[in-house]
Structure 1
């Protein structure tokens, strides 16, 4: 083996070592950024009262139909596929209405908008607090939903993730408007 062959072999090994270090750095950057899977965000964008009826007989009750825009924001580099779920309208942890969210998927780095319609009835609720709120003209409600699904990355990796929503909002019974929508 001559002197020149030893140098070229060392040079070749140095190139291979630099290449391996470079590839490792790229894999680490991808693992800590692109492959980091986050839970999707589930929110109400807007909500309006479509129909409203008020019964002030022996038991005061309200029936209304709400139209809402629900958004599912997927911040991942893979699509989010979720199962059927339900959105529940509550007054003091007592359900007044429910809407089924059908199973579906949201594409990578996209926000999906769902138009939903919910029937809410205070006949299902009871208690003096509910009657007092109805008499005061402001009905304080909340809503809860949880989407359970999987984020699919590069058709190779699947991570179980879920998006949750808890919103508080008020219905002004005089103006029939949604106020204080906070998610």
Structure 2
């Protein structure tokens, strides 16, 4: 009779331990093991080496000096190969730059300096560039996709990607970038 009470107590402790382990594993898998793609953004953007002409054949050339930010919210690092960021005016590419391969550590943001040379001589067809230069604001958009792998505990590797789509305006009067909005 005394042995039955000890066995029941032992089984109760084992059952409680198993339930506790299931709760811990479930919480771990719902938080740590949930892998998301990185957030890719321009941190800051500045205009340098600026020149614009608003005559018969309007043109604009400048360098955008940016801090390209890759925010990794995962508990493992995000490793990505070389990629490209492209700047558009009226849907046409007017500049691009390479984003060097890198690694964003777990739950951190990696910032990389990127210089994008922009020249509207590459535009084809009719555009409103002359009107935009005369108004003093030239609207631009940018796009980039970073494809890479998130690695958790050197065991789990998942392919993930981050996309960036930004809009901005170049203010010709003060030669600055304004209204930077990224998604």
Looking at structure 2, the residues matched to 101 and 56 of structure 1 have their Cα atoms a distance apart, in angstroms, of 32
Instruction: State the Cα deviation string for residues 116-141 of structure 1 (Å, max 9, x = none).
Output: 11100011124232222122221000
1:22 aligns with 2:11: no
User: Cα RMSD between the aligned structures?
Assistant: 1.3
Q: Count residues in correspondence.
A: 181
How is 1:148-167 mapped onto 2 (pairs within 5 angstroms)? Answer: 148-167=147-166
Looking at structure 2, the residues matched to 26 and 47 of structure 1 have their Cα atoms a distance apart, in angstroms, of 44
Q: So what's the TM-score if we normalise by structure 2?
A: 0.94
Q: So what's the TM-score if we normalise by structure 1?
A: 0.94
Looking at structure 1, the residues matched to 164 and 19 of structure 2 have their Cα atoms a distance apart, in angstroms, of 43
Instruction: State the Cα deviation string for residues 11-51 of structure 1 (Å, max 9, x = none).
Output: 21111111111000000001111111122111112111111
Q: Which residue is equivalent to 2:113?
A: 115
Q: How far does residue 73 in structure 1 lie from its aligned partner after superposition?
A: 0.8
Q: Secondary structure, in 3 states, of the residue corresponding to 2:25?
A: helix
Q: Secondary structure, in 3 states, of the residue corresponding to 2:122?
A: coil
Aligned match for 1:93, one of 79, 91, 94:
91
How is 1:28-39 mapped onto 2 (pairs within 5 angstroms)? Answer: 28-39=26-37
Residues 95 and 119 of structure 2 are in contact (CA less than 8 Å); yes or no, is this contact kept in structure 1? yes
Q: Which residue is equivalent to 1:64?
A: 62
1:142 aligns with 2:151: no
Q: Which runs of 5+ in 2 are unaligned?
A: none
Q: Which runs of 5+ in 1 are unaligned?
A: none
The ranges of structure 1 where at least 4 consecutive aligned residues each deviate by more than 2 angstroms after the TM superposition are: 54-58
Looking at structure 2, the residues matched to 27 and 9 of structure 1 have their Cα atoms a distance apart, in angstroms, of 27
Q: Which residue is equivalent to 2:51?
A: 53
